[in-house]
Amino acid sequence: MTPTQAQKEIQQLTEKIQYHNDLYYQQNKTEISDQEFDMLLKKLEQLEKEFPQFKQPDSPSQRVGGTITKEFATVYHKYPMLSLGNTYSQEELEDWDARVAKGLEGDAYEYMCELKFDGVSMSLTYENGLLVRGVTRGDGVRGDDVTNNIKTIRSIPLKVKGTDIPESFEVRGEVFLPKEIFAQLNKEREDIGEERYANARNTASGTVKMQDSTEVARRKLDCYTYALLGDHANTHSEAIHKLEQWGFHVSKTYQKCKNIQEVLQYINKWDTDRHTLPLETDGVVVKVNSLEHQERLGFTAKSPRWAIAYKYKAQSLSTRLNGVTYQVGRTGAVTPVAELEPIFLAGTTVKRASLHNANQIAQLDLCIGDYVFVEKGGEIIPKVTGVDMEKRTPSVTPIQYITHCPECNTKLIRVEGEAAFYCPNINGCAPQIKGRIEHFIQRRAMDINSLGEQTIRQLYDLGLVKSPADLYKLTREDVLRLDGFKDKSAKNLLEGIEGSKAIPFESVLFAIGIRYVGKTVAEKLARYFKSIDNIAKATPEELLKAPEIGEKIAQSVFQFFGNPENQTEITRLKEAGLQFESTAKEPEKVSDVLNNKSFVISGVFQKYEREQLQDIIVQNGGRVLSSVSGKLDYLLAGDNMGPSKREKAEKLGVKIISEQDFEKLLNGLTS
């Protein structure tokens, strides 16, 4: 492809991707599948890699991340991000309305009502139509510059299109983790043996401050914008309409209200309807609509006089605890579940609720027959929050946490420092076996989409599949024994299994189901060690040298490969033809400026990941070693480097260099 053709293709792909993105977020329509969208994005990324000079400042490729930020710069807000006064009653809201009327001295006024979203406040600055800065609320006066992470959020425009766009303007929004994504994230964490996140709001807050924007992109954050700052409109409603016209994601739940009675009607309507929304809400924000009126009303020391937040009371109902059942997950973790007398809560009938673990049961002092308080919070799944002690009777039965697996009767174990009990019978406990197979075939792992939970259950019950490796032994005759399978569906299933043999190593490593090894960790291990054999023979100390691998993960990986049954399973999967070596190409040579010098990399760096430094060294004619010796040329030292490496380097006379020293070496400024 010639440069001219590439430039034209990049332009066309950029416009096409932006069109489909706008269609999805502004009109709730789709014309192509997620897979087709991702393929367009990958094609654009590849072209931009080959022809970086044609990458546009608003390129959609920024949505996939790739930037590492070790420290977030502090930015002072042009307009302070003030908090709102709160009210919990109709009377207090009417008193506030009276103060507004008094402050406006009899002038007619109206309100704008918007739902108060439970997310992370964000300030977005645009210059010449381009997003140039995303800053957290911080202390209201200054916040953190998280621009690289914010650019991964697909509902935030990288470039504003439309008419009457100011040269510079600021938008306020709420970044959030949709309920569906939060539930999926928790399921994935549970699947690899990690503790679930407590709530979507805190998880969203932690995500925007992640150092790796690629991981932020995977979390699929969203953002509703709710304010346009500056002298760009006469009313708040006019400003909202401008944001909509310019392509911003605005929740359609807002409403203009003529008086406080209409505000109260809005509040009552959304008290129940809000539970149908894709994110958590905890109240309603009421604002005087006229910006001139807002200016006249002014501010108190802490909040504006022209706006107030009405907070909904968390809906918590009491119902009888009829019993506790126990579920066994893929990793063997046993989760207690409350069986409840059905109640109608937050729009749905609730019969079961999470109890998390034995610690919570003990902390709440739960008994069978108790009346318990149940809330339906950010996790979607209801949870028991307390006991109604006034209703406790002498007939209640204290809960005795089970000592043996409810599925295979194996004695449960509890690892010191962990809350959950585990069934150690990993290769003989049915839910664990079926769970591992379900994990193995999922889209982010082996992507065998013609298999599902019910099919796996049938295969297991018929004795056809007892481990993932058994999938590759299935015949047409085996599959035709399954309910609902005919020639075509059997052919599709077998082709899907056969096609999975081409799935790359990092996905296979995730698929085999090592505890604590999620998709990102699997990718780090695969890139660092290059093959399953290298990982299998690595000591815990060697595993710790891989990027972002901590003690817990290193011990889990080491123990997994030390298990003879797991070794047998890996051998069978190898024989089936799966990919157990990385196909990632070595970085292309750029120069010989490092002149075959050897480096050991240790610690955390401001501008680079350790993997990036390894690539840069190799690309520029250097070598990367794993341990300090007398023959080593340089110890490249970052923050929080272990003292033993430094001491050994100093003892052996090895030159210790900083990140800045390394950049000078690259530029040929020192030796």
Active site residues: 116
Cα(195)–Cα(419) distance, rounded to whole angstroms?
9
Buried b (16+ CB within 10 A) or exposed e, 381-415: ebbbebbeeeeeeeebeebebeeebebeebebeee
Cα(290)–Cα(111) distance, rounded to whole angstroms?
8
Altogether, the residues listed in the chain come to a count of 671
Q: What is the DSSP string of 244-256?
A: HHTT----TT-EE
Strands (E), 615-663: 623-624, 634-637, 655-657
Name the CA radius of gyration of the chain, rounded.
Answer: 29
Task: State the DSSP H helix or E strand holding residue 325, giving kind and residue range, or none if neither.
Answer: strand 316-328
Q: Is 57 helix (H, G, I), strand (E, B) or coil?
A: coil
Give the tokens for residue 495. Answer: 């082709």
Q: Is the dihedral of CA 484, 487, 493, 496 positive or negative?
A: negative
Token pair 């259950």: residue = 457
Cα(177)–Cα(119) distance, rounded to whole angstroms?
7
Cα(209)–Cα(199) distance, rounded to whole angstroms?
16
Cα(70)–Cα(209) distance, rounded to whole angstroms?
10
CA distances from 453 to 180, 308, 437 (A): 19, 48, 9
The two beta strands, 333-345 and 348-354, are antiparallel
As a 3-state breakdown, the chain gives helix, strand, coil percent values, each rounded to 5, of: 40, 20, 40
The two beta strands, 333-345 and 316-328, are antiparallel
Q: Supply the DSSP symbol for 258.
A: S
Cα(544)–Cα(557) distance, rounded to whole angstroms?
11
SS (H, E, C) 342-353: EEEECCEEEEEE
